[in-house]
A and B are shown apart, each in its own frame.
Chain A
């Protein structure tokens, strides 16, 4: 019995901190194996590129903690990138605010359809995914929209501040904010309570519907912001980008140990999940560079899928053990 208990608690630690351990192991492995793996160029490009995924995953993390899901984030980001690119001639701020507002609009629609019409989040956000994608294509005239290089807009994606990439700054601030809100504010507690047991939290007088509405609005806004960075980084608003982002974000959240049933979650672990999945691609490049093997880029999705498989099986084992112990 005692031994069994010890395994359970070990497993729980793995569940909570597993993603950090895995991340550290991966970094250590890369540092020992590849030259310049921890060189500033590689680290900074990795952070710059993954900032937009991190933003999308943060919103997804909040939605999932309430027990919902947001499939629209990918096309919302695409829409945000198009709006930002169209507004970029009017300056950095116009592009930034415009892109985020477009995301907010989609998020508000999601929130209203889920809370007012009572449609399942899965279906509601599936529908807005199509709608956002259609709107992005209409606005962009079915092609990518180049951003203006006259204004400072591209700094949002390509610039540096204190020799640290601007997108990474934005993501870092968002995560610090997200973590503080979750752990230190009433709203954060409401999110977890609603996800844990919606009926109970409603009976306790918590504003369950409003909480859900806000997380969808938040997720939309963050996806819009990711779109702004996408446009600034690659110099164009891209209406057909963002395909599969939602599932990548869900995978990051799950790898981070957040339960899909809601009620439990960690913002920091989600960030670690994003970095972990991003590192796999990065290390594949290094591995190919060494010339021992040549794995095509296509292997990255196979490896990512394998990682996800490992994590969910581990999580499931942990859950059944806890149920058995309870």
Chain B
């Protein structure tokens, strides 16, 4: 397929496209920030940073799990519904609707742990369906996408749960040395996952499974175990994000928590440069991807473009990013 014309065109550009592919997300982010510094009034303030960080935290945390899932060549459509389950369950626990509480702090502790574990268990169930019955990930996770929100709605009877429990809401509203606690949590998760993907056996196994599942199996990698683990992790991340969202809102609405989250996170993963067919993944890229999408929206809103138009721009960015990736490969 390589003819002289292609070769000539490719040679001088090889470095540029290679660089763009590697650092494209970073370059785009820097360009966006520079643009904002020049044109958006009051951009360089703590408040801007805080607003953007708090809005992006939940997406990033879920997107980290999604990155690992996509790295194995899978997809997880159920994350939004799992967020709803965890977000609906937590208030039921700390408000004492499920079991009477001997001490309110015990309720808070349980509410921080149990919902995340429940979401993790559902995530593991996704992985079990995929590995045990060899169902395609998009269908297997579609089951919980549909049923999961229903479960959350049935648990709360669709009612809005309003609360004011500062100990619990620290996870979404608290600050450590002036920095939002959720932002620190998000950074910790990003760093941990990036390290695990690059430097641990588990991380290499994930990429091997996504790159070539047969070869990975022949090389003695426990493919099913690896897959179940990434869906478990994705579930845990979704559960945690559900808690953060309800803590920020001081309210839990099973109909709304995490709605459309699966698409936001997949978009962040795609823009960040992770290959959607699996085998190559970057957690830091996903983080940058989520920041880019958030910052684009912020830029447009701050400059008076309506939210609806921002959606159209977001769509164009996603297609452009994935198309550029493809250009880099061929």
Question: Chain A: residues with CB nearer than 8 A to chain B?
Answer: 69, 71, 113, 117-120, 122-124, 126-131, 133-138, 142, 243, 247-248, 250-251, 254, 260-261, 296, 298-306, 308-309, 312-313, 315-317, 319-320
Contact = CB atoms under 8 A, between A and B. Distances in A.
Contacts of B318: 123, 126-127, 130
Contacts of B77: 247
Nearest to B157: A296
Nearest to A135: B312
Given A130-B311, A138-B309, A142-B308, A123 B322 contact: yes
B149 interface: yes
Which of B135, B142, B270 has the most chain A CB atoms closer than 10 A to its own CB? B142
A300 B309 contact: no
Contacts of A298: 150, 153-154, 157-158
B134 interface: yes
Given A296-B154, A299-B154, A316-B134, A127 B148 contact: no
B263 A126 contact: yes
B311 to A, nearest CB: 3
Query: Taking each of B146, B151, B154, B315, which has the highest tally of chain A beta carbons within 10 Å of its own beta carbon?
Result: B146
A306 B147 contact: yes
Contact of A312 (B135, B277, B309, B323): B135
Nearest to B312: A134
B143 A302 contact: no
Contacts of A296: 153-154, 157-158
B146 A133 contact: no
B311 A133 contact: yes
A299 B150 contact: yes
B158 A305 contact: no
Contact of A254 (B139, B145, B309): B139
Nearest to B149: A301
Interface string B303-330: 0001111111011101100110010000
Interface of B: 75, 77, 129, 133-136, 138-140, 142-151, 153-154, 157-158, 259-260, 263, 266-267, 270, 276-277, 306-312, 314-316, 318-319, 322-323, 326
A138 B323 contact: no
B309 A313 contact: no
A320 B132 CA distance: 11
B134 A113 contact: no
Contacts of A300: 150
B276 A316 contact: no
B276 A123 contact: yes
B315 A250 contact: no
3 cross-chain pairs, A with B, having the tightest CB-CB distances, nearest first: A305-B147, A134-B311, A301-B150
Contacts of B323: 117-119
Nearest to B270: A123
Given A124-B319, A251-B146, A298-B150, A320 B134 contact: yes
B134 A301 contact: no
Nearest to A295: B154
Contacts of B310: 134
Given A247-B142, A261-B136, A305-B147, A119 B306 contact: no
Nearest to B144: A305
A312 B133 contact: yes
A302 B147 contact: yes
13 contacts: A117-B319, A117-B323, A122-B75, A123-B318, A123-B319, A126-B263, A134-B314, A135-B312, A137-B311, A138-B306, A138-B309, A305-B143, A317-B133
A130 to B, nearest CB: 4
A126 B308 contact: no
A251 B140 CA distance: 11
A129 B139 CA distance: 19
Given A134-B308, A138-B306, A127 B146 contact: no
A312 B143 contact: yes
Nearest to A298: B153
A257 to B, nearest CB: 13
A302 B157 CA distance: 13
Given A120-B276, A247-B146, A260-B139, A316 B314 contact: no
B133 A313 contact: yes
Nearest to B138: A260
A120 B322 contact: yes
Contacts of A142: 306, 308
A119 B314 contact: no
